[in-house]
A and B are shown apart, each in its own frame.
Chain A
Amino acid sequence: MLLKLTCLVPLFPLIGSIINGFFGLRIGKNAVGIIAAGSMALSFLTSILVFIGFLLLPEGQHIFEQVVWSWFGAGDFSVDFGFQVDPLTLVMMFVVTGVGFIIHVYAIGYMHEEYSFYRFFAYFNLFASAMLLLIMGNNFLLMFIGWEGVGCCSYFLIGYYFEKKSACDAGTKAFIVNRVGDFAFLLAVMYIFNIFGTIDFSEVMHAAPEKLVYAGEAVTIITMLLFVGATGKSAQIPLYTWLPDAMEGPTPVSALIHAATMVTAGVYMIVRCNALFNLAPMTMLVVAGIGAATAIMAATIGMTQFDIKRVLAYSTVSQIGYMILACGVGAYTAAIFHLVTHAFFKALLFLGSGCVIHSFNEQQDIRSMGGVWKKIPYTYALMIIGTLALTGFPLLSGYYSKDAIIEFAYLKGNTIGYYGASVGIFTALLTAIYSWRLIFKTFHGKYNNKESNLNSIKESPLIMLMPSCLLAIGAIFAGLAFKEIFIGSNGSEFWGSSILFLNAIQHNHPPFWFISITPVIVILAIPISYYLFVENEKILKYFIEKNQFLYNFLLRKWYFDELYNFIFVEPIKKIGLFFWKKGDINIIDRYGPDGLSKLVKIISDKAVNFQSGYLYHYAFVMLIGFSILLTYLIIY
Chain B
Amino acid sequence: MFEGSVPIAHYLTLSAVLFVIGIVGVLVRRNVIVVFMSIEIMLNAVNISLIAFDHYLNLSNGQIFSFMVMCVAAAEVSVGLAIIIALHRNKPTVNLDEFNLLKW
Q: Which residues of A contact B (CB under 8 A)?
A: 611-616, 618-620, 623
Contacts and interface: CB of A to CB of B under 8 A. Distances in A.
A512 B79 CA distance: 123
B100 interface: yes
Interface in B33-86: 35
B103 interface: yes
Contacts of A611: 103-104
B2 interface: no
B35 to A, nearest CB: 8
B6 interface: no
Contacts of A618: 102
A618 to B, nearest CB: 7
Contacts of A613: 99-103
B90 to A, nearest CB: 14
B9 interface: no
B12 to A, nearest CB: 15
Given A619-B26, A619-B27, A614 B97 contact: yes
Contacts of B101: 613
Contacts of B35: 615-616
Tell me which of B35, B97, B100, B104 has the highest count of chain A C-beta atoms within 10 A of its own C-beta.
Answer: B100
Contacts of A612: 100, 103
Closest A-B pairs by Cβ, 4 of them:
A613-B100, A613-B103, A611-B103, A613-B102
Nearest to B30: A616
Contact of A620 (B27, B100, B103): B27
A612 to B, nearest CB: 6
B96 interface: yes
Contacts of A615: 35, 96, 99, 102
Contacts of A623: 23, 27
Contacts of B104: 611
A605 to B, nearest CB: 15
A278 B28 CA distance: 98
Nearest to B29: A616
A21 B50 CA distance: 85
A616 B103 contact: no
Contacts of A614: 96-97, 99-100, 102
A613 B103 CA distance: 5
Tell me which of A616, A618, A620 has the highest count of chain B C-beta atoms within 10 A of its own C-beta.
Answer: A616
Nearest to A618: B102
26 contacts: A611-B103, A611-B104, A612-B100, A613-B99, A613-B100, A613-B101, A613-B102, A614-B96, A614-B97, A614-B99, A614-B100, A614-B102, A615-B35, A615-B96, A615-B99, A616-B26, A616-B27, A616-B28, A616-B30, A616-B35, A616-B96, A618-B102, A619-B26, A619-B27, A620-B27, A623-B27
Interface residues of B, number: 14
A618 B101 CA distance: 12
A309 B100 CA distance: 79
B101 to A, nearest CB: 6
A612 B102 CA distance: 8
A384 B54 CA distance: 123
Interface of B: 23, 26-28, 30, 35, 96-97, 99-104
A620 B27 CA distance: 7
Contacts of B26: 616, 619
Nearest to A623: B23
A296 B30 CA distance: 99
A379 B35 CA distance: 105
Nearest to A622: B26
Nearest to A610: B103
A367 B28 CA distance: 97
A616 B100 CA distance: 10
A613 B96 CA distance: 10
Nearest to B28: A616
B78 to A, nearest CB: 19
A614 to B, nearest CB: 5
A627 B99 CA distance: 26
B94 to A, nearest CB: 12
Contacts of B23: 623
B30 to A, nearest CB: 8
Tell me which of A611, A613, A615, A618 has the highest count of chain B C-beta atoms within 10 A of its own C-beta.
Answer: A615
B102 to A, nearest CB: 5
Contacts of B100: 612-614
A620 to B, nearest CB: 6
A623 B22 CA distance: 12
Nearest to B101: A613
A623 B26 CA distance: 11
Contacts of B27: 616, 619-620, 623
A95 to B, nearest CB: 75
Contacts of B28: 616
Contacts of B30: 616
A511 B98 CA distance: 115
A618 B35 CA distance: 13
A253 B102 CA distance: 72
A613 B30 CA distance: 14
A616 B104 CA distance: 17
Nearest to B104: A611
Nearest to B98: A614
A65 B4 CA distance: 115
A621 B100 CA distance: 16
B38 to A, nearest CB: 10
A623 B27 CA distance: 10
Tell me which of A613, A614, A618 has the highest count of chain B C-beta atoms within 10 A of its own C-beta.
Answer: A614
A552 B18 CA distance: 105
B40 to A, nearest CB: 15
A325 B15 CA distance: 109
Given A614-B99, A615-B96, 19 more contacts: A611-B103, A611-B104, A612-B103, A613-B100, A613-B101, A613-B102, A613-B103, A614-B96, A614-B102, A615-B99, A615-B102, A616-B26, A616-B27, A616-B35, A616-B96, A618-B102, A619-B26, A619-B27, A623-B27
Contacts of B96: 614-616
A305 to B, nearest CB: 73
A604 to B, nearest CB: 13
A234 B97 CA distance: 84
B75 to A, nearest CB: 20
A618 B30 CA distance: 14
A75 B78 CA distance: 81
A619 B36 CA distance: 13
Nearest to B100: A613
A492 to B, nearest CB: 89
Contacts of B99: 613-615
B24 to A, nearest CB: 10
B72 to A, nearest CB: 18
Nearest to A614: B100
